[in-house]
Amino acid sequence: MAEADVPRPQPPVSSPRVFGDMRRVPTVRLIARLGLSDLDVPAPMRQFDQSLDSLKIPLNQHIGASATAVVKQGDHVDKGQVLGQVPEGKLGALVHCPAAGTVSRVAQGEVTIELE
């Protein structure tokens, strides 16, 4: 074929694997190989039967900028109401009230709520 000037065929170009040259092992098999099969069980759910008097809610609950409190001491807050607002031009998230109550303290970085 070389005498007839027929070009040598090139192997097809394959796309690289997403995970590189790592081997793919099924999750169940990996858990067994690591000896974690006894620990791979559903977590038991149990009732939380303690009553709470107050909640301390941090205003920095993420990697972004800390929220600024928009409530004052003595304010009544409802469940879902905004407690902390993100400063203008910053990346962050609003902080909401998880339960209704009265704001008993607004400190640097946290809001304390006395529950109803």
Q: Give me 90's structure tokens.
A: 């910053």
Q: Where are the beta strands (DSSP E) in the chain?
A: 54-58, 68-69, 76-77, 82-85, 95-96, 101-107, 110-115
Which pTM was predicted? 0.59
Q: Domains in the chain and their CATH numbers?
A: 54-115 (2.40.50.100)
Q: What is the pLDDT of residues 47-98, one digit of tens each?
A: 888 889 999 999 998 888 999 999 999 999 999 999 999 999 999 999 999 9
CA distances from residue 23 to 30, 38, 65, 76, 104 in whole angstroms, order as listed: 11, 24, 40, 57, 56
Check if the beta carbon of residue 71 is closer than 8 Å to that of residue 55. Answer: no
